[in-house]
Structure 1
């Protein structure tokens, strides 16, 4: 490797796009700061080294700010032992920064000591312990005999190898940090123990959304997240994050690093375990405002806001969609050719460079459209709306009472239990989903006026079909007709103001399902969960973006993915006992709990003891036992069943039954289970309603 002294002007713009740059800063002779730039040519693998006093990214042409460990801007990065690496791939993007202050383990550290250090690091990251608290703990550890043999550092930053400086790109009116896609994908695949990717192709869904991080200011984060499709255990990963007091002014400036890297990956892919992996963009999942922002089209409040058709809205105190038969479907070609000029803003979106279909590549998200949109709006109309649809106080209290009564029957797979209507303003998207798909048909029956109850069941039945893996394609046409019927009657029941962007787009939802699969394969629920965790990485209001970047880097370095037997598809039995019941002549071990791939069953829990068998019988489980390495369960089958509702179709069409009467004790092999069941009292004595859990991959 040769070293040439060049000034910044000579260095600026002297490399082509196919080279890989790795910058190292170190202290040179006579304490002079030197930046060594290693240029690795992608074809010849020849390295050259250059020394300079300044690095300027000519192609981006924007200022890069360096934040020190306290979040302050630091333009002078010199230090005695400090070292940081800019690891860039061939598209010049910053991927990771490491510090070299002794964070690595010494060769003299024993294996057990290294394991102790790793466990401490993982504990700190998992429970988000503050650095000051860990520093105090490490100081206490120095009192232990033989502390030196543990190889523990004095500070938490060294223990976690926390990056000391965070290069941020100016994106008006804030800053942006780009993590990169390739490194995030490789890290996720390794954590999931994926040795080989099917067909050597990775399809990624991307999400862009804004989240406020303060109530007293406009401070907000705009993350770009990715999610790999068709890989078990896949979770969202960060691609880049913007922070500022207000959203980015220019969407193309905000998306610059992202678009540039995706274009490169689409051209050359990347290498994983010695195999070339191609990358495809499956689509972008966003709510309506975020989608309009990154596509550079009219927002959801505009007259020509529909992203699927050319229908024009009307003014009725707000933009509503009443005459919908006049709209024609948009296509990728008409979008790129600006055939409908009033749908677009002045500039074009840089996402058009990615080759993704600008219509079908942006599917409707039912979390925002249906759960937080239509379902929430209907509930508000029933409680605070016009007199012709508003329920009285006693009816509202009765429904709230029923919701609280069934809360103890909600299985553990649901992250939230039902709450009363008095807390409706604080309901989350998962609660609206639970009400629409499970508890609503039961708690509203006999209380909500019959015409409104039937209208609600139309939406319930349509979404029940579209969210089901088995029914979404076979019954798609029927689901579409149900949604059209629902929208047609919205104006009649709730008035013109109900006919908003969300109501109109229900007509297009079944088309996206027909192209992509059931609703949960392209929903924002996984991303919303990640955004919640991302927001809680911020510990103080100053410099939130560097804080988030450092916490995510610590998490990536020290958190291990727990792979249990059940997550690999093998049942995991827990809690041994000898209390029975068991078949006569039984010899083996009994258990109260079994963990399967998609759900957990407990024989002693009223909320987790019901299952659907493959013949669609519903069984209340009473025990699990193992004989000759085979697992069985005992239980009592429900004898009688009927429909919970019959309009707009019979509930048995979705395997939703009204049950009563338990048969005598019997036993079955564990592999006869189809899915877990949610069973709740149905208002009638000794009768209950059973719903198959739709989050089960078997259903």
Structure 2
């Protein structure tokens, strides 16, 4: 035997379970045939019509295609002796070891080795023999096999879907996914794709893009996205109208080039946790040269949706644009008005700015807007361009004017950019880095404020997404941190640090924004907040100089009017949209073809139908408990369960600091000592109330 033949005999194939069962059945039938023939030869009733005699000492080199059909017609089962029948049932086959010890299964014949054959006999010999002798044990029927196959297919599909959801939700790099998929495929034989593109059903065709000078734009659709949002929020059948918020802004894609995205985003107004959809995305090395070309697809579809509504759940739901939310540069671009540092740049009133010198030279300065009672603009005056200096005469009219919206009231001032990273950041910068200015804090004062911020960090509950840090990190503060400083921390930290005049002036700003961000009081105390903000702007001249009253500072006086139209400041802020911008940026894998990458990632998300973004929210009324204990304290004769943590919506209450401090309905402050749930399902908090409260 040559070496090639020897290697071929050694080689074994991976055989499926059903194939092994068929081969074992053939082997059992062959063995039974030989046993019956041997018994018949030894019997006195042996007949002369025996055509074939198997020599037990001769090796078996092949198995007939259907040995049972060839021999059983000539064999009377009653001729088998009782002892031999018992031996067959017990699995003791005469001459089995002689015949199969010399059998070598190669790649050309059976497909599995003699060791496999022995293993098969050891496991299933009794069952096979009993089946052939008419015993009650039977092989699984074809229906059972089909059910097993169907269950395996469903299990594999669930596993693939679970893997795909994990990849999407965790934003796992595709190279890592490919590495993971190859392991169960090769090591465990699992039926999974070996490439992430197959798993996620990645779009293989070239994305449909439209040329928008200087680069390209992709449109995803307003109506399609709104239907997704309505399904997410489970819009009630009694709701016949929804109001939406549109957001337009740019985000840099790379730090080493001018590559940037300009997405058009949308959310439904009035939902605290409304998700954000993508209507369209532009990509280029510069912002769109022609805003009308950039917005044409959106305006065309939006006009139709606003006129006809949307078919949802068997009814027509009206759609209205509640607000077009942008920062100052984006608003100027979208509405085709002058830049935010122009003399007539205010979008809400017709005030004219004045030139305020910032340095001793004749050319150093900026435009300031100290007037607080200028005539207000309205939609008719805006469309009629009654103040030509407000509109950019070098550009054509914005296509946004074709939409049936109020171009003044429906274009609010975004408080994230105007207040948080606008006025609040401006004040903090002056206090920390003012040059030769009496408003600048000393080194000891800065340290005092920083120490307080570090100390209060331990008392910040879980609802604060970012904890406090020292003023040394001022250049890295995010908009959320500036918001927390204004609404919660600095009014306490600056007490006794700023001069009384400066502190009282800052408190005007704090109280007004506190009112306007409160959904319960923003309408009731709206006029009061407006008066506070006007007083704040007017007093800026005497404290910080007229140069301090920039575009952002002036626009504070117009915030209450926007709140009257749209609700609290947080109900239409840019915070959720800015988060979405970062999500879009994180969809990229490389710097090449960024728009095509984002389109494919979004298509994968749509195919998986999970998210991150579009999964149906859990019930907002369901309480969740954790950390059950029996340590008390409890009221006398209490019967029920005790917990350390309870959560409702986005509010978490614990029995330990910093999430154990609450305000009660009577206005008192208390510390939670235990969370109780009685046997009848009633929830109560065991608290320790503070008896004395004092103002700062």
TM-score calculated relative to the size of structure 2: 0.74
Q: What are the equivalent positions in structure 2 for 1:192-591 lying under 5 Å apart? A: 192=233, 194=234, 196=236, 198-231=238-271, 233-316=273-356, 317-324=364-371, 327-346=374-393, 347-386=396-435, 387-558=437-608, 559-560=610-611, 567-591=619-643
Distance 1:545 1:129, change over 3 A: same
Distance 1:513 1:195, change over 3 A: closer
Partner of 1:21: none
Tell me the SS of whatever aligns to 1:147. coil
Aligned-residue offset at 1:592: 0.7
- 1: distance between equivalents of 2:564 and 2:540? 24
Q: For residues 60-86 of structure 1, what are the alpha-carbon distances to aligned partners after superposition, in whole Å with 9 as ceiling and x for unaligned?
A: xxxxxxxxxxxxxxxxxxxxxxxxxxx
Distance 1:112 1:299, change over 3 A: same
Greater Cα offset, 247-256 or 133-142: 133-142
Name the structure with the higher strand share.
Answer: 1
Q: What are the equivalent positions in structure 2 for 1:18-97 lying under 5 Å apart? A: none
Greater Cα offset, 108-117 or 124-133: 108-117
Aligned-residue offset at 1:502: 0.8
Distance 1:468 1:308, change over 3 A: same
- 2: distance between equivalents of 1:202 and 1:474? 25
1:176 aligns with one of 194, 217, 223: 217
- 1: distance between equivalents of 2:416 and 2:544? 22
Distance 1:530 1:322, change over 3 A: closer
Aligned-residue offset at 1:144: 4.9
Aligned-residue offset at 1:384: 1.0
Conservation of the 8 A alpha-carbon contact between 1:196 and 1:273? no
Distance 1:198 1:548, change over 3 A: farther
- 2: distance between equivalents of 1:322 and 1:210? 27
Conservation of the 8 A alpha-carbon contact between 1:321 and 1:500? yes
Conservation of the 8 A alpha-carbon contact between 2:369 and 2:551? no
1:615 aligns with one of 655, 666, 671: 666
Conservation of the 8 A alpha-carbon contact between 2:212 and 2:294? yes
Q: For residues 201-253 of structure 1, what are the alpha-carbon distances to aligned partners after superposition, in whole Å with 9 as ceiling and x for unaligned?
A: 22110100111122221111111100112346421111111111111111111
Tell me the SS of whatever aligns to 1:510. helix
Partner of 1:127: 170
Q: Which residues of structure 2 form unaligned runs of 5+?
A: 1-148, 357-363
Distance 1:586 1:411, change over 3 A: same
- 2: distance between equivalents of 1:492 and 1:291? 31
- 2: distance between equivalents of 1:389 and 1:195? 52
- 2: distance between equivalents of 1:326 and 1:235? 38
- 2: distance between equivalents of 1:280 and 1:408? 44
Distance 1:137 1:267, change over 3 A: same
Aligned-residue offset at 1:282: 0.9
- 2: distance between equivalents of 1:171 and 1:155? 34
Greater Cα offset, 270-279 or 218-227: 270-279
- 2: distance between equivalents of 1:261 and 1:173? 23
Tell me the SS of whatever aligns to 1:137. helix
Conservation of the 8 A alpha-carbon contact between 2:270 and 2:571? no
Partner of 1:118: 161
- 2: distance between equivalents of 1:155 and 1:571? 41
Conservation of the 8 A alpha-carbon contact between 1:220 and 1:244? yes
Conservation of the 8 A alpha-carbon contact between 1:303 and 1:319? no
Aligned-residue offset at 1:107: 7.7
Tell me the SS of whatever aligns to 1:508. helix
Q: Which residues of structure 1 form unaligned runs of 5+?
A: 1-105, 645-699
- 2: distance between equivalents of 1:564 and 1:332? 38
Conservation of the 8 A alpha-carbon contact between 2:372 and 2:554? no
Q: For residues 244-299 of structure 1, what are the alpha-carbon distances to aligned partners after superposition, in whole Å with 9 as ceiling and x for unaligned?
A: 11111111111011001101111222212222222111110111110010000011
Tell me the SS of whatever aligns to 2:637. coil
- 2: distance between equivalents of 1:113 and 1:195? 34
- 1: distance between equivalents of 2:340 and 2:598? 31
Aligned-residue offset at 1:616: 1.4
- 1: distance between equivalents of 2:527 and 2:240? 34
Greater Cα offset, 358-367 or 615-624: 615-624
Number of aligned residue pairs: 533
Conservation of the 8 A alpha-carbon contact between 1:320 and 1:496? no
Aligned-residue offset at 1:598: 3.4
- 2: distance between equivalents of 1:323 and 1:619? 45
Distance 1:285 1:318, change over 3 A: farther
- 1: distance between equivalents of 2:229 and 2:339? 34
Greater Cα offset, 223-232 or 450-459: 223-232
Tell me the SS of whatever aligns to 1:479. helix
Distance 1:563 1:270, change over 3 A: closer
1:626 correspondence with 2:658? no
Aligned-residue offset at 1:562: 6.1
Aligned-residue offset at 1:198: 4.3
Conservation of the 8 A alpha-carbon contact between 1:590 and 1:625? yes
Aligned-residue offset at 1:570: 2.1
Query: Aligned Cα RMSD in Å?
Result: 1.8
Tell me the SS of whatever aligns to 1:110. helix
Greater Cα offset, 442-451 or 254-263: 442-451
Conservation of the 8 A alpha-carbon contact between 2:232 and 2:617? no
Distance 1:323 1:570, change over 3 A: closer
- 1: distance between equivalents of 2:476 and 2:236? 43
Q: For residues 419-457 of structure 1, what are the alpha-carbon distances to aligned partners after superposition, in whole Å with 9 as ceiling and x for unaligned?
A: 211110110110000000000111111112221111111
Conservation of the 8 A alpha-carbon contact between 1:313 and 1:319? no
Partner of 1:155: 195
- 2: distance between equivalents of 1:370 and 1:224? 23
